[in-house]
A = this chain, B = another copy of it.
Amino acid sequence: LSTFTPKDPNFKNRVRENFNLQPMMKTLGVNLDVVEAGKVIFTVQHHNPITQQHGFLHGGGVAAILDSACGYAAMSLLGEMEEILTVEFKTNFLAPALGETYRFEGSVVKPGRTLVVTEGKAFAIKDGVEKQVAMMTATMMPIMGRDDVKPAY
């Protein structure tokens, strides 16, 4: 379905390597399932450390995972020396997030040299039934050659 042309033919490996360097993705138990040009899909198994007080997946956690899905969707279209920073995002929560498994999709809506506009969708799968639980719109900024966007600790 994707109609974007990635600048870097090696984008799938580059996205996966970058993803593997994000400690936060491990902390949240995120698995990178699919990388296409302009789109990524994550899956997460329900586990207690990312829940809130009613046992739902924490809404802020849903947003954190969608933010990364949107960021990697944007990164898939960049050149190999470019990085991504999130400018802003907004999340609407459609239903409490409760399932055995969750799927998170990040997609590029509008690529650009200065800014990339993306959207994300989160789904809970419970007893084989899938339900959308959140939606996001996010603005991403490609960056290159900024000294402060390097590993720091």
Counting every copy of the chain, the complex holds 4
Known contacts A60-B63, A114-B114; decide if A151 and B85 are in contact (CB<8 Å).
no
Residues of B within 8 A of A10 (CB): none
The smallest beta-carbon distance between A139 and chain B, in angstroms, is 6
Taking a contact as CB atoms closer than 8 A, the residue among B48, B50, B93 that contacts A87 in the complex is: B93
Q: How far is the CA of A24 from the CA of B57 in the complex (A)?
A: 9
- A50, A56, A86, most chain B CB atoms within 10 A: A86
Closest to A121 in B: B109
**What number of A residues sit within 8 Å (CB to CB) of B?**
58
Q: When the two chains form their complex, are residues A137 and B139 in contact, meaning their CB atoms are under 8 A apart?
A: no
Q: How far is the CA of A117 from the CA of B87 in the complex (A)?
A: 10
Residues of B within 8 A of A87 (CB): 87, 92-93, 115, 139
Beyond known contacts A53-B151, A54-B151, A137-B137: 12 more, CB 8 A cutoff: A22-B51, A24-B60, A27-B49, A60-B67, A85-B96, A88-B88, A88-B91, A90-B91, A90-B137, A92-B139, A95-B110, A135-B137
